[in-house]
Amino acid sequence: MDQLTAPGCHGDMTRAWDALTAATALGSGLLAGVFFAFSAFVMSGLRRLPDPAGAAAMRSINLTAQRPPLMLALFGVSALCVVMIARAALTWSQPGAGWSLAGAVLTLAGALGVTAAINVPLNDRLDAGTIPWPDYLAAWNPANHARTILCLAGCALLLVAACRRR
C-alpha cells in the first residue's frame, strides 16, 4: 500500500488505515458536537418553557432525530467504531492500536451505549406520557452530558492513535 506521513505525527500510515481512523475521529467529533449542542443550549431552552410546551417540543425533536441525518451519523460512526475495534485487536502489537481501541470503545459507549440504555427509553417514556417533564430532564440531561464527553474523548484518542501509528 502507499505510505504517507501525517503532518505533525510520527511515522507512516497506510492510506486505508489513515482514512478509516480519520473518518471515525471526525464522526466521533460530529456526534460529540450534536450532543454538546443539546447539553449547552437546546435543553436549557426547552427547560425555560412551561412543562407541557417543553415536553411537546422535545417529543417533536425526538421524531425529527429519528430521520436519516442523525441516524446515518449515529449508526455509521458506530459501524466504523466496530471496524476500528476489530482492526485494533488484529494489529494489537502495532503502535496506536491501544489508542484506536480505547477511542472506538468510548465513542461506541457514548453513541450507542448511553443512547440505547438511557436516552431512548426516556424518550419513549416521554412520548407515552409516563414520565413528568422535570423528571425526564433530571435523567436525560446527565446521560446526554455523558455521551458528549464519551464521544469527545473517543475523538481525541482516535486522533492520538492516528499520530502513533507507523
Residue 91 lies in a domain: yes
Residue 78 lies in a domain: yes
The per-residue pLDDT for 4 is 41
Residue 1 lies in a domain: no
The per-residue pLDDT for 95 is 87
pTM of the entire structure? 0.89
CA distances to 25, 131, 142, 152 from 161, rounded to whole Å, are: 10, 42, 28, 14
Residue 51 lies in a domain: yes
Task: Please enumerate in sequence order all residues whose Cβ is within 8 A of that of 129, keeping only pairs 6 or more positions apart, or say none.
Answer: none
The per-residue pLDDT for 57 is 98
Domain region containing 149: 11-164
Regions of the chain short of the pLDDT cut 50 = 1-6, 10-13, 166
Residue 160 lies in a domain: yes
Residue 36 lies in a domain: yes
Residue 5 lies in a domain: no
The string of pLDDT tens digits covering residues 61-80 is 999 999 999 999 999 999 99
CA distances to 34, 46, 53, 106 from 50, rounded to whole Å, are: 24, 8, 5, 35
Query: CB 70: neighbour CB atoms within 10 A?
Result: 13
The per-residue pLDDT for 9 is 52
Residue 15 lies in a domain: yes
Domain count, the chain: 1
